[in-house]
């Protein structure tokens, strides 16, 4: 029988051993979604029929001895920022309500080619703008640890789906922390690969030079296995890295022994201090001590330009986004709103549609980005931000001359209450303080469950950053730390989450 | 609205025109600039599209290497520097035929810059003269879709009820070639503008990088014009005339704008900085979009593409593939063909140099080739309001027509009918001769019978010829040609008449 | 963020102009609350001015790739049905759009 609490690797092993079928695994996930998603709202669209059909095809392949990949038959959820044939892609926006793309994103194509049944599309802040999933036009996702709290964002849907055992695996996208920060606040694992490591073709762009899709899972090994499936060169993405990658699953298995001897770890000075929740910092320090005990050499490393990362990010992102989102104009797809008046022109229809179809945060960032790019301001804002990017990359280079990886808490706080920061954009932006530098420099990062903060009993996260192309270090060191943690906790952190009340159809919370 | 114009001569008495030309060349690559869609002209609507050129969410561009190669070759042929490192940029503005609402173009980092082209025009003394046009830049970009305006009376944009957009053209590679302001052209500004575009097109043809069909929009010229008071260095406000889609229109549009600007300036009013539309049918420009401060394209480097950094080895390799430079080519061809300076200037001026060259290559004598292109075909192009190259007859067809004349299959008059048939799409010259039954009758018996009949029908004339008045033969020859519906060799008829009446 | 922020302000009129450029028909109420919000955000990001000198080159791409080209070969695209599948209105196998004012660029 299938157990939804198994890891994807365990499910894969059970499938290989013939102990379970993909249809059973997929049906179990769908049942769990039916039972808890009314409360969690991780999904915008569930494709039960499609997923079961793919599961049956997987079982048939396996019976014929031709499994497509180690994860063939293990179901997965996909963030609604990636295009999917046969399922809508809305990016959490009214402007794309009901849009079914005529093509699959490369990541989605690779999932299909590897045989993973796709359960559905997960909720997100509208066009991935936000850190709480409250900016979804279709209502917020709730944190399975406390349904009154945010699941992080923008990929709150994928993180919550995995944390609530609605899916063993999910795909997220990370522009400034949208995989890692939800991972931290839901007690799950999330990886932002090296920029160019996973194809962006079919990922609806927020900020093209920062976006990267990656795994959202419950364990390091699961992320590594999923990364092996979705990563690698794609000729349809000009920024995709054309090289062979090592097996990340092998790296995770190597690290799982828990030995960190010989590893040099740098603690980033700038990512601590005022504004950081004490319980988060305490758990972080304990993990650093744990790494030392396991043989790691830990030093403090200063990255002075990181203090400017947030400002650079909130100029580059809106600038690129304002241009990317121009295509949503009511002419070729998506919403079309006719304003009052006789025979409105195309331009009037565009303006009315974009006003009605975009939410407040999206409009805010489009206007900000339009400003940052407009003549007379470009050099002072966008141009400067791109220079700051250079400084941040230099900080990373200098740091990685001293250490193998850098560590910090993933987010400054645990999950806050729904609605708490909705009217304060700046406070909301601070959630991504620790995650943004990696996007600006293109380096990979992982967030691991890092224990519960004492003051609120909610999960915190630990972030590991590696040099560009060295994603395998995240998995090796991440798996080691995960092993050390689980020895201390007596099992995965998620086992400590309060159980969700399963509901039968018709019930509401 | 009818504009007041000043006579051209009067306008030039008071003002110096400054010209600027922006020419868009559609490359003839197999696939589009940033995706693998085909580029065939005239396909059914929306059959040559994909997520990328439709601007679907999530889709991404990948640069066509062949388009970069063509851009570099064009740049080199225009004596430009080739950038060691350059990028694509987004030009942001909203328009329904532009799928992403930004055009992927190049901004401050064009692939080619700082070049020149020498154009040959008629000097003040009637002799050919070289005029150097400086090229500011040539950059890579993508074309837009095409709109069909429905519900208006004219099919034009104004008054239309709605529009229908076809994105087959969206994403076809374009090279935009921009001149520096051309000063000192004086009254020859229209001629220089035309000669520049004509020579540029010849160069594009020689490079083989474009279909170079102005009538199909594969070469499109925008003409910028401003007037400065005579003797002043200060440029006036300029207008940008769009849609100038034939060589003769380039000349006419410049002339028209000179006259229009001069009338406005001399009345003390000022020129509005705007785009103007050229109307081929009426020969005027009308007001388009005002270029105000609100125009803000918010250019920034395209983050979905990586920089283009052509190695110097590649550039030099491409330089080795360039056709002969235009000045040397003209000199060589003139010597080979034995043309006078005047013949040569007229040929170049008519945009026929390449056509004559190809016709000669297909076997025609140079003077015969020139005669066809600058005579009968020029007349027909003018009637149709198109350029010579846009006529639906190939240099090989013209050479074949001349061959038919040379072997006396047709005479001159019939040859013109053959050409008419080819232009009307009736097939090759041989097919037209066959289907229209145009071959000269070479059956001696039939000819002889026709001559006998003409003699019998015109006894008075026959007597005069018998009396030695050979000039009277013309009347009998005419009668025979009429009988034969023109399909006879007039020289042979004359011989027969004189034989029979001697 | 450091507090060396330059004094910056986005006025209501500027927001209206930016909204025009961005083709968003903002209501009066939206203009009223966006202007001060944007000013606050801009004040906090304005600290970036002066952080990097002229000697620092801008980074537009995290990884220094160049010359990524595609071969000039035709690849399968979408059928017209697929291309038009999301269109609000279709006529004559084309995207039907409201009347267009103004000219092509
Ligand atoms: Mg252009
Ligand atoms: Zn295409």
The predicted-structure confidence for A385-418, as pLDDT tens digits, reads as follows 999 999 999 999 999 999 999 999 999 999 999 9
Interval C33-76: pLDDT, tens: 999 999 999 999 988 988 998 999 999 877 889 999 999 999 99
- Helix, coil or strand: residue B42: coil
C contacts of A321 (beta carbons < 8 Å): none
A209: left (phi over 0), alpha (psi -120 to 50) or beta: alpha
Mutation test of the interface with chain B: which of A80, A99, A327, A334, choosing the one with the most B Cβ atoms within 10 A? A327
Residue C62, pLDDT score: 77
Give per-residue pLDDT as tens, A63-113: 999 999 999 999 999 999 999 999 999 999 999 999 999 999 999 999 999
Q: Is A375 a catalytic residue?
A: no
Between the CA of B48 and the centroid of ligand 2 the distance, in Å, is: 7
- Residue C102 confidence (pLDDT) above 70: no
Give the pLDDT score at A156: 98
Q: Which numbered ligand comes closest to the C-alpha of B52?
A: 2
User: What is the set of domains in chain C, with CATH numbers?
Assistant: 12-49 (1.10.20)
Given phi > 0 = left and psi -120 to 50 = alpha, else beta, which region is A490?
left
* Residue pLDDT, tens place only, B134-149: 999 999 999 999 999 9
Note the pLDDT of residue A243.
96
Of B58, B90, B306, the CB nearest to A83: B58
Which residue in A99, A351, A367 is closest to C15 by CB distance?
A367
Angle of CA points A314, A319, A322, to nearest 5°: 120
Nearest CA to B360 out of B350, B349, B372, B351 is that of: B372
Q: What is the pLDDT of residue B325?
A: 80
Q: Which pLDDT does position A509 carry in this prediction?
A: 41
Which domains does chain A carry? 8-236+243-306+390-501 (3.90.1300.10)
Q: Which pLDDT does position B485 carry in this prediction?
A: 77
Mark which residues 88-117 of A lie under 8 Å from C by CB. Answer: 99-103
Mean pLDDT for chain A overall:
96
For chain B, give the mean pLDDT: 91
pLDDT at A284: 98
- Answer yes or no: is pLDDT of C2 > 50: no
Is 3.40.190.10 the CATH classification of the domain at B444-501? Answer: no
**In this structure, what DSSP letter does residue B440 have?**
P
Mean pLDDT of the region A437-460: 98
Do the beta carbons of residue A73 and residue A15 sit within 8 Å? yes
State the Cα–Cα distance between residues B495 and A13, nearest whole angstrom.
104
Classify residue B217 by burial, with Cβ atoms within 10 Å: 0-12, 13-18, 19+.
Answer: middle
Q: Using one digit for the tens of pLDDT, what is the confidence trace for A222-252? A: 999 999 999 999 999 999 999 999 999 999 9
Q: Dihedral sign, CA of C40, C42, C45, C50? A: negative
Cα dist. B469→B462, B464, B492, C55 in Å? 9, 5, 19, 98
> What is the spatial distance between Cα B119 and Cα A434, in angstroms, rounded to a whole number?
61
Tell me the CA–centroid distance for residue A326 and ligand 1, in Å: 19
Section A269-279 average pLDDT: 91
Using alpha carbons, select from A63, A53, A61, A55 the residue that is nearest to residue A11. Answer: A55
Query: For residue A182, what pLDDT is reported?
Result: 98
Find the DSSP H helices in A98-167.
106-113, 156-163
- pLDDT for position B151: 83
Where would I find the H helices in A164-298? Answer: 180-186, 220-230, 248-255, 278-293
Catalytic residue chosen out of the listed positions A93, A154, A158, A199? A154
The SS3 call for residue B22 is: strand
Nearest chain C Cα distance for residue B166, angstroms: 5
B contacts of A235 (beta carbons < 8 Å): 62
- Nearest Cα to B193, choosing from B126, B97, B117, B267? B117
Residues present in chain B in total = 502
Regions of chain B where pLDDT drops below 70: 1-2, 153-157, 290-294, 442
Compute the distance between CA of residue A262 and CA of residue A297 in angstroms, rounded to an integer: 7
Q: Do A333 and C48 touch (CB under 8 A)?
A: no
CA-CA distance, B423 to B369, in Å (whole number)? 17
Domain residue spans in chain B? Answer: 8-318, 339-436, 444-501
Residues of B whose CB is below 8 A from A319:
300
Asked if A24 contacts A14 with a C-beta cutoff of 8 angstroms, the reply is: no
In angstroms, the Cα distances linking C8 to A309, A362, B27, C43 are: 19, 22, 46, 6
How crowded is the C-beta side of B312, counted as CA atoms within 13 Å? Answer: 0
Give phi and psi for B343, each to the nearest 5: -55, -45
Interface residue of C55, C58, C66 to substitute, partner A, most A CBs within 10 Å: C58
- Reported as a single tens digit per residue, the pLDDT across B79-93 is 999 999 999 999 999
In sequence order, what DSSP letters do the residues of A261-279 get, joined into one string? TT-EEEEETTSSSTTS-HH
Which residues 82-121 of chain A have a CB within 8 Å of chain B? 82-83, 89, 91, 96, 99, 101-103, 105
Per-residue pLDDT at A505: 60
Mind listing the pLDDT tens digit for each residue in A409-426?
Answer: 999 999 999 999 988 888
Distance between start and end Cα atoms, chain A: 29
Please tell me whether residue B64 adopts helix, strand or coil conformation: strand
Q: Are strands B63-64 and C69-70 parallel, antiparallel or unpaired?
A: parallel
pLDDT in tens, A106-152: 999 999 999 999 999 999 999 999 999 999 999 999 999 999 999 99
């Amino acid at each position: 029988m299938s157990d939804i609490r198994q890891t994807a690797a365990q499910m894969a092993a059970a499938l290989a051993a013939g102990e379970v079928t993909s249809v059973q695994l997929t049906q179990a996930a769908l049942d769990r979604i039916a039972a808890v998603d009314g409360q969690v709202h991780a999904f915008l669209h569930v494709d039960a029929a499609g997923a079961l059909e793919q599961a049956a095809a997987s079982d048939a392949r396996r019976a014929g001895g031709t499994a497509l990949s180690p994860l063939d038959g293990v179901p997965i959820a996909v963030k609604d920022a990636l295009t999917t044939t046969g399922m809508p892609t809305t990016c959490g926006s009214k402007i794309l309500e009901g849009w079914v793309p005529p093509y699959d994103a490369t990541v989605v194509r690779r999932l299909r080619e590897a045989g993973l049944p796709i359960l559905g599309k997960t909720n997100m802040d509208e066009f991935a703008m936000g850190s709480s999933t409250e900016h979804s036009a279709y209502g917020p996702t709730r944190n399975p640890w406390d349904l009154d709290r945010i699941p992080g964002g923008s990929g709150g849907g994928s993180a919550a789906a995995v944390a609530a055992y609605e899916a063993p695996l999910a795909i997220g996208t990370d522009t400034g922390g949208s995989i890692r920060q939800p991972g931290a606040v839901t007690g799950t694992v999330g990886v932002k690969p090296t920029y160019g490591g996973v194809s962006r073709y079919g990922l609806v762009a927020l900020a093209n030079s920062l976006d990267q899709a990656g795994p959202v899972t419950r364990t390091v090994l699961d992320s590594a296995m999923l990364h092996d499936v979705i990563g690698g060169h794609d000729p349809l993405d000009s920024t995709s890295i054309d090289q062979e990658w090592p097996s990340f699953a092998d790296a995770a298995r190597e690290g799982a022994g828990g030995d960190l001897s010989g590893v040099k770890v740098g603690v980033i000075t700038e990512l601590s201090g005022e504004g950081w929740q004490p319980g988060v910092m305490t758990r972080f320090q304990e993990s650093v001590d744990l790494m030392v005990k396991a043989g790691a050499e830990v030093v403090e490393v200063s990255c002075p330009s990181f203090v400017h990362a947030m400002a650079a990010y909130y100029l580059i992102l809106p600038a690129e986004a304002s241009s990317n989102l121009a295509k949503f104009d009511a002419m070729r797809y998506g919403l079309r709103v006719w304003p009052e008046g006789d025979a409105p022109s195309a331009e009037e229809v565009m303006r009315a549609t974009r006003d009605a179809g975009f939410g407040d945060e999206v409009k805010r960032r489009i206007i900000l980005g339009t400003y940052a790019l407009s003549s007379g301001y470009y050099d002072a804002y966008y141009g400067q931000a791109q220079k700051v990017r250079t400084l941040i990359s230099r900080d990373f280079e200098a740091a990685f001359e001293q250490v193998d990886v850098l560590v910090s808490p993933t987010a400054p706080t645990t999950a806050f209450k729904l609605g708490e920061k909705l009217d304060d954009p700046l406070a909301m932006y601070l959630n991504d303080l620790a995650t943004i530098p990696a996007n600006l420099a293109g380096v990979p990062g992982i967030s691991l469950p890092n224990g519960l903060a004492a003051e609120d009993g909610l999960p915190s996260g630990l972030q590991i950053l590696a040099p560009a192309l060295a994603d395998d270090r995240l998995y090796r060191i991440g798996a080691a730390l995960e092993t050390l943690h689980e020895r201390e906790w007596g099992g995965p952190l998620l086992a400590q989450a309060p159980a969700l009340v399963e509901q039968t159809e018709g019930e509401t919370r | 609205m009818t504009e007041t114009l000043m006579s051209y001569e009067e306008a030039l008495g008071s003002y110096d025109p400054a010209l600027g030309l922006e020419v868009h060349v559609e490359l003839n690559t197999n696939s589009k600039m940033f995706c693998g869609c085909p580029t065939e002209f005239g396909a059914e609507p929306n059959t040559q599209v994909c997520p990328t050129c439709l601007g679907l969410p999530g889709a991404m561009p990948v640069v066509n290497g062949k388009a970069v190669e063509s851009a570099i070759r064009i740049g080199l042929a225009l004596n430009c520097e080739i950038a060691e490192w350059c990028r694509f940029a987004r030009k942001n503005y909203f328009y329904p035929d532009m799928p992403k609402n930004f055009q992927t173009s190049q901004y401050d980092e064009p692939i080619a810059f700082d070049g020149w082209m020498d154009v040959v025009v008629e000097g003040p003394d009637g002799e050919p003269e070289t005029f150097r046009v400086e090229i500011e830049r040539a950059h890579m970009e993508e074309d837009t879709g095409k709109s069909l305006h429905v519900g208006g009376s004219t099919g034009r944009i104004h008054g239309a009820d709605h529009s229908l957009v076809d994105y087959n053209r969206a994403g076809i590679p374009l090279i935009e070639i921009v001149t520096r302001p051309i000063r000192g052209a004086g009254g020859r500004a229209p001629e220089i503008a035309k000669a520049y575009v004509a020579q540029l097109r010849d160069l594009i043809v020689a490079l083989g990088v474009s279909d170079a069909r102005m009538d199909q929009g594969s070469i499109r010229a925008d003409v910028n014009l401003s007037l400065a008071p005579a003797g002043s260095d200060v440029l006036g406000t300029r207008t940008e005339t769009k849609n100038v889609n034939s060589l003769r229109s380039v000349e006419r549009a410049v002339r028209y704008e000179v006259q229009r600007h001069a009338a406005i300036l001399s009345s003390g009013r000022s020129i509005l900085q705007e785009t103007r539309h050229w109307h081929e049918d009426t020969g005027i420009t009308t007001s388009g979009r005002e270029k105000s401060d609100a125009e803000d394209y918010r250019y920034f480097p395209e983050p979905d593409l990586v920089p283009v950094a052509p190695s110097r080895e590649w550039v030099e390799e491409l330089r080795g593939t360039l056709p002969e430079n235009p000045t040397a080519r003209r000199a060589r061809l003139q010597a080979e063909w034995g043309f006078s300076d005047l013949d040569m200037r007229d040929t170049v001026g008519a945009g026929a140099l390449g056509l004559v060259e190809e016709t000669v290559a297909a076997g025609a004598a140079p003077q015969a080739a020139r005669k066809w292109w600058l005579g009968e075909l020029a007349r027909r192009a003018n009637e149709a309001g198109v350029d010579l190259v846009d006529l639906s007859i190939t240099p090989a067809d013209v050479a074949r027509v001349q061959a038919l004349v040379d072997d006396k299959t047709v005479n001159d008059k019939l040859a013109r009918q053959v050409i008419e048939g080819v232009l009307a799409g009736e097939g090759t010259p041989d097919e037209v001769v066959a289907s229209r039954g145009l071959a000269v009758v070479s059956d001696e018996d039939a000819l002889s019978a026709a001559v006998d009949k003409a003699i019998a029908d015109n006894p008075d004339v026959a007597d005069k010829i018998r009396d030695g008045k050979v000039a009277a033969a013309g009347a009998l020859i005419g009668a025979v040609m009429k009988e034969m519906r023109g399909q006879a060799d007039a020289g042979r008829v004359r011989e027969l008449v004189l034989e029979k009446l001697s | 963020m450091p507090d060396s922020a330059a004094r910056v302000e986005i006025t209501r009129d500027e927001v209206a102009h930016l909204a025009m450029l961005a083709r968003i028909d903002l209501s009066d109420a939206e203009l009223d609350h966006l202007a001060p919000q944007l000013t606050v955000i801009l004040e906090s990001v304005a600290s970036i001015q002066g952080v990097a000198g002229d000697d620092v080159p801008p980074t537009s791409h995290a990884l220094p790739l160049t010359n990524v080209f595609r071969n000039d070969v035709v690849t399968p695209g979408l059928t017209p049905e697929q291309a038009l599948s999301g269109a609000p209105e279709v006529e004559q196998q084309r995207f039907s759009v409201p009347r267009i004012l103004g000219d092509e660029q």
